[in-house]
Amino acid sequence: MTDTEHATLPRVSHWINGKVVASTSGKSRPVFNPATGRQTKTVDVASPEELEMAVAAAKAAFPAWRATSLSRRADTMFRIRNAFDAHREEIGALITAEHGKVLSDSQGELARGIENIEYACGVPQLQKGEFSEQVSTGVDVYSIRQPLGVVAGITPFNFPAMVPMWMFGNAIATGNTFILKPSTTDPSVSVYLAQLMKEAGLPDGVFNVLQGDRVAVAGLTDHPDIAAVSVVASTPTAKRIYETGSKAGKRVQALGGAKNHMIVLPDADIGLTADAAVSAGYGSAGERCMAIATMVTVGDIHEPLIEAIKERLPQVVIGDGTEPDSLMGPLVTEQHRDKVAAYIESGEKDGATIVADGREHPLYKESDGFFLGVSLITDVTPEMACYKDEIFGPVLTVVHVDTYEEAVELTNSHEFGNGTAIFTRDGGAARQFQFDVDAGMVGINVPIPVPVSYYSFGGWRASLFGDTHMYGPEGVKFYTKGKVVTSRWPDPATSEINLGFPRTK
C-alpha cells in the first residue's frame, strides 16, 4: 500500500471527554480485515500528551460523577445497556470485520458482555455497606464503599467488546471514571461503544478511549493520577503490568494466558464429548482464553474418541465470518496465523502424530485472508512445545494417560490454571475433580465454563496476577475501597475525658 492510499483509509482515533480526538503523534498502525488480508483502516497511536489529555478528562469528570446519586448512575447504566442492545448488529459487524470471528460468535461475545452491564445496573444493591447498631452504648458502626478515582483497562484483541465490558460496567457504575486502552488489532468497537454511551447520557470524561501501544500502556501503568489498572493480556505482558503497576502503588488485576485441559474419563459419552471438544477447541479459531487447548484422554476411551472427533472435523466450515455458513473464521493476523502453523510443524518434529493438519486447508494455501484449517495432534507429551505453550489457534493437542490421578497431576503441573473441564457420567468422580484441580474455573461436562456475570472470572497460577478476579462481586470490590465509620451522637451531659484506648461499653 502506498503512503497516499494509507492516508486515505478511515482512521480510528481516541475518544476523550465525549468526542473523537485525532492523534497528532504522527504514529499509526494498520487495521486489517483478516478474511481478505486487506488493510481497511489505520489506528492512531497516542503520544504522551494525548495520554495526559485522557487522564485530565477522566480526572476532571470524577468529582461530579462520584457525587451523582446511585439512582442516576443505575439509570445511566440501564440506558447504556439498552443502547448496546439496540445496536447488537452494528457492534457484531464491527467485531467480525476486524477480528475475523463469525458473526454468530461476535453476537455471543456481545451477549456475554452485555450481561456484565446488566449486572452493573444493580449498583444500588452492589455498593451497599453494612450497619451495626449499638456496638457500644450509643455508638453505631457502618461501612461504605467508595470509588477509587480514575481507573484504566488494557484489553486484548480476542474479545474487543466483552472484555472491556467486564471492566468498565462495574467501574463506572460504582462512580469511577475510566480510560480504555484497546488492542490496536481491532480498535473500532471501542469508539463505537463510547459514542453509544454518550448518546445514552453518560457525562463526558467518564469513559475515554486511548488508542496506543506499549508506550500508552506504560504511561497508564505509571501515572500518579490513575488509581487502578485492569488488564487482560498474554502472561508476560499481564505479569509486567502487574509488577510495574503495583510498584507504582496501584491496585492491579492482571489476567494472563491459558492452556485449558479437558479431561475425559473412560465412561464419558463419546458423541457428546467429541462435539464439545470440536466446539471448544476450534470455536473462534481457538483464539479464546477459555478454549480447550489440550484434551487428556484417560484409559480406553482414547481411540474411539479420536475417531469420533476426526469424523466431525469436516463439519467445521471455514470461511469469511460474514458468510452465513462459516463456523470458523480466519486468525486475527498473518503473523499470528504463521506462529500457530509453526506449532504444527514443531509437534511433528517432536514426534507427535498430526491426525489433521490445518496447513492442508485450501484457504491456507490459496487465500489472501489469514486462514488456517483445524489441526488435531495426538501422542503429545508434556515436554513438547505444542503442549507447553499457549498456541491460541485451532490446534487441539491430545495427551493420553492411564489413570484419573495422572490426568489431574498433568493438569495441575501446567504453567497455566485458567479453566478446565471434566467429561464423565460419574458424579463422584466429577466432584472429586472439582476438589482436586488447581484452576480458577471448572466445567463439569461444560467445555467452556465462563462464569455468568454475577460470579467472577479468573484463573490461577500464571493465568492471573493480583488478588481479585474480574467482574461480578470481585469486580465491584476491586473498583471500590472500604471505609468504616464509627459514630456517636452523645448527650453532652454524659461527656467526660478518658485517655484510655477506646473500649466497648
Q: What positions carry a catalytic annotation?
A: 289
Site string for ligand NAD, 7-36 (x = CB under 6 A): ------------------------------
Torsion of CA 371, 463, 467, 180, to 10 degrees: -20
Instruction: Choose among 77, 103, 79: nearest CA to 92.
Output: 103
Kindly state the cell numbers that stand for 496: 467526660
Q: What are phi and psi of 110, to 5 degrees?
A: -65, -40
Output 217 or 280, the one with its CB closest to ligand NAD.
217
* Contact call for residue 390 and ligand NAD (CB under 6 A): yes
Residues 336, 370 contacting (CB under 8 angstroms) = yes
Residues in contact with ligand NAD, counted by CB under 6 A, come to a total of: 27
Spatial distance between the Cα atoms of 501 and 505, rounded to a whole number of angstroms? 12
Output 98 or 390, the one with its CB closest to ligand NAD.
390
Least distance (Å) from ligand NAD to the CB of residue 299?
30
Output 194 or 255, the one with its CB closest to ligand NAD.
255
* Contact call for residue 66 and ligand NAD (CB under 6 A): no
Least distance (Å) from ligand NAD to the CB of residue 96?
17
Least distance (Å) from ligand NAD to the CB of residue 259?
9
Least distance (Å) from ligand NAD to the CB of residue 287?
7
The residue within the footprint of ligand NAD, chosen from 119, 343, 392, 404 (CB under 6 A), is: 392
Residues 75, 123 contacting (CB under 8 angstroms) = no
Spatial distance between the Cα atoms of 60 and 175, rounded to a whole number of angstroms? 13
* Contact call for residue 421 and ligand NAD (CB under 6 A): no
What is the torsional sign of CA 434, 436, 440, 442? negative
Kindly state the cell numbers that stand for 138: 450509643
Which residues, numbered 248-307, are part of the site for ligand NAD (CB under 6 A)?
255-258, 289
Which residues, numbered 203-242, are part of the site for ligand NAD (CB under 6 A)?
213-214, 217, 232-234, 237
Least distance (Å) from ligand NAD to the CB of residue 464?
7
Q: How far is CA 102 from CA 68, 158, 192, 284, in A?
A: 40, 12, 19, 7
The residue within the footprint of ligand NAD, chosen from 181, 302, 337, 477 (CB under 6 A), is: 181
Residue 218: other Cβ atoms inside 10 A: 16
- How remote is the C-alpha of 301 from its chain's centroid? 33
* Contact call for residue 363 and ligand NAD (CB under 6 A): no
User: Taking the CA atoms of the chain, what radius of gyration do you get in angstroms?
Assistant: 25
Least distance (Å) from ligand NAD to the CB of residue 255?
4
The residue within the footprint of ligand NAD, chosen from 463, 465, 468, 478 (CB under 6 A), is: 463
Site string for ligand NAD, 129-168 (x = CB under 6 A): -------------------------xxxxxx---x-----
* Contact call for residue 183 and ligand NAD (CB under 6 A): yes
Least distance (Å) from ligand NAD to the CB of residue 274?
25
Tell me the three state secondary structure of residue 261: strand
Spatial distance between the Cα atoms of 463 and 439, rounded to a whole number of angstroms? 9
**Could you tell me which residues come within 8 angstroms of residue 378 by beta carbon, excluding any fewer than 6 positions away?**
306, 352, 353, 355, 398, 400
Output 119 or 404, the one with its CB closest to ligand NAD.
119
Kindly state the cell numbers that stand for 255: 489476567
Please report, as ranges, the residues that interact with ligand NAD according to CB under 6 A: 154-159, 163, 181, 183-184, 213-214, 217, 232-234, 237, 255-258, 289, 390, 392, 418, 459, 463
